[in-house]
Amino acid sequence: MKQLQIASIPGDGIGKETVAAGRKVLDTACEVHGGVTFEYLDIDWSCEYYKQHGQMMPDNGLDILRPCDAIYLGAVGFPGVPDHVSLWGLLLPIRRTFRQYVNLRPVKLMAGVQTPLANRYPGDIDFLVVRENNEGEYSNMGGRLYQGTNEEVVVQNTVFTRAGVERVVRYAFELAIKNGRKKVSSATKSNGINYTMPFWDEIFAEISSEYPEIENNQYHIDALCARFVTHPDEFDVVVASNLFGDILTDLGPAIAGSIGIAPSANINPTRAYPSMFEPVHGSAPDIAGKGIANPMGQIWCGAMMFDHLGYQDCGDLVMRALADTLAAGTTTADIGGHANTMEVTEAVCRRIKKLAGSVPS
């Protein structure tokens, strides 16, 4: 029996509810598989922790996470602590220190889920967004001068490195090949942003030429957003900078039914450091503590974590159970259902047990 160590960081708001739900599903899948178990390292870093300690995590926080096999995180950020303080104190340092330079975010309209788009059905919306996750617009570099005066000036730098752009664009093409996808689309804004964006376009063109079998397209981000709504069926793999990828991956889940179902994997492809699995959504302060959050984004992240850790059979099992649960209409209010977080979670666990007889372990 293989035992893997997973750092479990529920964080803030609904993160506490969705991580508890996700862990039930992970444990059920491990149980029926029989060859792997997760030992959790329970971590309480959050905005509450900040209020007690004046920081989001201890000084040696990243050293605590480094030896783990993976990190399973809920959400970070809650009213009462400024978002840039909470996020730069916990989530963003993890992504950067552990070189999780790929943020992989599948967007898929599942059977049983309504899209707000007319005449679109499962199969029409099914693409993978590869978001650059370590640099770009999230540079943490800049400054503010003459604060509070009418001469005040604020600058935030955007940083692209050749190595950083090349590796994420190449990952997108390799992902297309691995998944039998035909096309990679890139999002920039090189008409208005005249250094970084033409640089990205140039590198995208260079790397594209190494993959003649994969079609490639470049879009301006504004036009691409519109295209997601009017022609979502055109996309296979989409690669974008940190900020553009962030925006596209709230828009994508919105057309695929709900952000509550959207997963995200912060991947260090070299495996030198742990990768982190967290849903796309945040702490949802408006519904936190009510037990009604959709746990499916967190559960789907669990499936991606199994795949990453080499237990694809467990990942497939979780995804089949999730799809069956959705198709049967056991859903939370954000996708039109009447079930609460735990009812959905238990329904997924029941299906895992039911399906288990038919999967190899």
Residue closer to Mn ion by CB (options 85, 247) is 247
Residue closer to ligand IPM by CB (options 77, 297) is 77
Q: Does residue 297 bind ligand NAD (CB under 6 A)?
A: yes
Distance of closest approach, residue 147 Cβ to ligand NAD, in angstroms: 23
Residues 321-340 that bind ligand NAD (CB under 6 A): 332, 334
Which residues lie across from 240 on neighbouring strands?
131, 187
CA distance 150 to 95: 36
CA distance 94 to 86: 12
The dihedral through the CA atoms of 217, 279, 133, 276 has a sign that is negative
Map residue 115 onto helix, strand or coil.
coil
Distance of closest approach, residue 258 Cβ to ligand NAD, in angstroms: 7
Q: Which does 287 bind (CB under 5 to 8 A by kind): ligand NAD, ligand IPM, Mn ion, none?
A: ligand NAD
Binding site for ligand IPM (CB under 6 A): 77, 87, 246, 280, 282
Residues 29-58 that bind ligand NAD (CB under 6 A): none
Residues 6+ apart with CB under 8 A from 299: 21, 22, 25, 318, 322, 345, 348
Q: Which does 260 bind (CB under 5 to 8 A by kind): ligand IPM, Mn ion, ligand NAD, none?
A: ligand NAD
Under 8 Å between Cβ of 191 and 221: no
CA distance 43 to 65: 10
Residue closer to ligand NAD by CB (options 236, 343) is 343
Distance of closest approach, residue 279 Cβ to ligand IPM, in angstroms: 9
Distance of closest approach, residue 108 Cβ to ligand IPM, in angstroms: 17
Q: Does residue 345 bind ligand NAD (CB under 6 A)?
A: no
Q: Does residue 105 bind ligand NAD (CB under 6 A)?
A: no
Under 8 Å between Cβ of 183 and 215: yes
Q: Got the DSSP string for 16-77?
A: HHHHHHHHHHHHHHHHHH-SEEEEEEE---SHHHHHHHSSSS-TTHHHHHTTSSEEEEEE--
Q: Which does 281 bind (CB under 5 to 8 A by kind): Mn ion, ligand NAD, ligand IPM, none?
A: ligand NAD
Residues 257-296 that bind ligand NAD (CB under 6 A): 259-260, 278, 281-287, 293-294
Residue closer to ligand NAD by CB (options 279, 315) is 279
Residues 6+ apart with CB under 8 A from 354: none
Distance of closest approach, residue 177 Cβ to ligand IPM, in angstroms: 26
The stretches of the chain forming alpha helices (DSSP H) are 15-33, 47-53, 61-65, 83-86, 92-97, 162-178, 196-208, 221-230, 242-255, 296-309, 312-327, 341-356
Exposure class string for 223-251: b at 16+ Cβ within 10 A, else e: ebeebbeeebeebbbbbbbbbbbbebbeb
Residue closer to Mn ion by CB (options 237, 259) is 259
Q: Which does 104 bind (CB under 5 to 8 A by kind): ligand IPM, Mn ion, ligand NAD, none?
A: none
CA distance 155 to 145: 9
x/- site string to ligand NAD, residues 59 to 78, per CB under 6 A? ----------------xxxx
Distance of closest approach, residue 109 Cβ to ligand NAD, in angstroms: 17
Dihedrals phi, psi of 267, to nearest 5 degrees: -110, 135
Residue closer to ligand IPM by CB (options 138, 200) is 138
Task: Please give the residue ranges that form the binding site for ligand NAD (CB under 6 A).
Answer: 14, 75-78, 83, 87, 91, 259-260, 278, 281-287, 293-294, 297, 332, 334
